[in-house]
Amino acid sequence: MTTKNTATGYGLHQSILPNSEGLYGEFGGKIGHPELAKAMAEIEVGFREIIKDDDFIAEMKRLRETYVGRPSPIYHAQRLTEHCGGAQIYFKREDLNHTGAHKINHCLGEALLAKYMGKTKVIAETGAGQHGVALATACALVGIPCEIHMGQVDIEKEHPNVVKMKILGANLISVTRGTATLKDAVDSAFEEYLKNPKDFIYAIGSVVGPHPFPMMVRDFQAIIGDEIKVQTNERFGANPDYVVACVGGGSNALGAFTAFLNEPNVKLVGIEPAGHGLDTDMHSATLTLGKPSQIHGMACYVLEDENGEPLPVHSLASGLDYPGVGPQHSLLKDLGRVEYTSATDQECLDAFMTLSRVEGIVPALESSHAVAWALREAPKMSKDVKIVVNVSGRGDKDSDYVAEKLGLN
């Protein structure tokens, strides 16, 4: 069995694999529901079989190169670097992937796995719509029906992605319960999946949920960091000093970080949404202000009230407003290997506009949180420091919302 992922190969990463109970330290875990436990076990077996299959490995390589457009480039943002002063800012351009974000990396794998396992329908949730668009795209490619659950609040914010999902043939379910955002979409999608786990497959959108989902999604996303390592070493003969990414559930960040977890000289920084401020109740800074608990079939850090119920959360970025976070991130926080900090809605908007007008790159609001950190911290560093920011998605989906917010219409 292949045990190490490279920029051209495929297989399980050894850096933070779960134990036999699906745990990363005290986080993660398997689901207790007997029927669901059986379904999860079947998915894990299918996943472990498919990643050893030569045909799958060849197909993923072909699709990554010719369909997704990998490797995504590393771009030196020279004008932004000059604008900030200080450290050299580089961008990992996941926004240039087919469908406009990193989500296609795991959606291709999940759709091919569904086909391999003979499933009749793929079900998923989406926040900003990037996972939904990527999954609808992958399902159209392999020819499997796709059902996407999305909060009504997010549907109204992310109109371009809603239209794309419908064009691609997805059955879009509007979720109006609760806060009508990402957590509620997850609840709704999981309920639909429970109706027939034998024939349906749940294609989770991040490194969250019960085992084996965090492991699977991390493994499909690890290509990001593998490429960063190869590209930076080819470009300037060394690893970067910093790798920075936004964190909601945590898939793009874990994808960028995994290749560097055993490289102590590379500082890894995850940026959460501080929303209106960490001193308000309008944020989604789970690792910063949450505590270990349970949500959606996993143990992880959670923002919850005194009764143990998940709190309503807020972020300008629909893909980040989630009260939980991936179990690997929860462990990496406790180990101190990754620094988790935050950026406010205002810092995010400022970064969105600055990157757009200084470099001609319109980033997703999610990715703008990581850009905001670079704008804030790069000026404090020397000019020989190299920062790689993962631009996890492009901002087409957010342009109307930002224009309205800033009065640009």
Lowest-confidence range among 3-17, 152-166, 338-352?
3-17
Question: Are residues 395 and 377 located together in one domain of the fold?
Answer: yes
Closest CA to 297 of 194, 372, 226, 375: 194
Question: Are residues 198 and 244 located together in one domain of the fold?
Answer: no
- Cα–Cα distances in angstroms (integers) from residue 312 to residues 210, 274, 306, 319, 324, in the given order: 22, 14, 13, 14, 11
Q: Out of 157, 367, 392, 397, which one is annotated catalytic?
A: 392
Lowest-confidence range among 33-47, 61-75, 80-94?
33-47
Query: Residue 3's pLDDT band (boundaries 50, 70, 90)?
Result: very low
Q: Is 392 a catalytic residue?
A: yes
- Tokens describing residue 203: 């294609």
Last residue of a domain, one of 218, 240, 261: 218
Q: Is 103 a catalytic residue?
A: yes
Asked whether residue 5 is domain-assigned, the answer is no
Q: Out of 125, 304, 347, 366, which one is annotated catalytic?
A: 125
Average pLDDT over residues 345-361: 98
Q: Is 164 a catalytic residue?
A: no
Asked whether residue 32 is domain-assigned, the answer is yes
Asked whether residue 196 is domain-assigned, the answer is yes
Q: How far apart are CA 144 and CA 70, in angstroms?
A: 24
For residue 190, what pLDDT is reported? Answer: 87
Query: Residue 35's pLDDT band (boundaries 50, 70, 90)?
Result: confident
Strand partners for 291: 302
pLDDT at 205 over 50: yes
Question: Are residues 132 and 242 located together in one domain of the fold?
Answer: no
Average pLDDT over residues 323-330: 98
Query: Residue 36's pLDDT band (boundaries 50, 70, 90)?
Result: confident
Domain with residue 282: its CATH number is 3.40.50.1100
Asked whether residue 210 is domain-assigned, the answer is yes
For residue 33, what pLDDT is reported? Answer: 84
Question: Are residues 159 and 278 located together in one domain of the fold?
Answer: no
pLDDT at 128 over 70: yes
For residue 16, what pLDDT is reported? Answer: 78
Question: Are residues 304 and 186 located together in one domain of the fold?
Answer: no
For residue 4, what pLDDT is reported? Answer: 41
pLDDT in tens, 251-294: 999 999 999 999 999 999 999 999 999 999 999 999 999 999 99
Question: Are residues 369 and 226 located together in one domain of the fold?
Answer: yes
Q: How far apart are CA 353 and CA 356, in angstroms?
A: 5
Q: Out of 30, 72, 94, 103, which one is annotated catalytic?
A: 103
Q: In what order do the strands lie in the sheet with 27-28?
A: 23-24, 27-28, 298-302, 291-295
CA dihedral 359, 84, 90, 289 (to 10 degrees): -110
Query: Residue 10's pLDDT band (boundaries 50, 70, 90)?
Result: low
Q: How many domains does the chain have?
A: 2
pLDDT in tens, 224-241: 999 999 999 999 999 999
pLDDT at 191 over 70: yes
Question: Are residues 110 and 88 located together in one domain of the fold?
Answer: no
Closest CA to 353 of 307, 401, 295: 401
pLDDT at 209 over 70: yes
Question: Are residues 357 and 310 located together in one domain of the fold?
Answer: yes
Asked whether residue 4 is domain-assigned, the answer is no
pTM: 0.95
Range of the domain at 146: 26-66+102-218
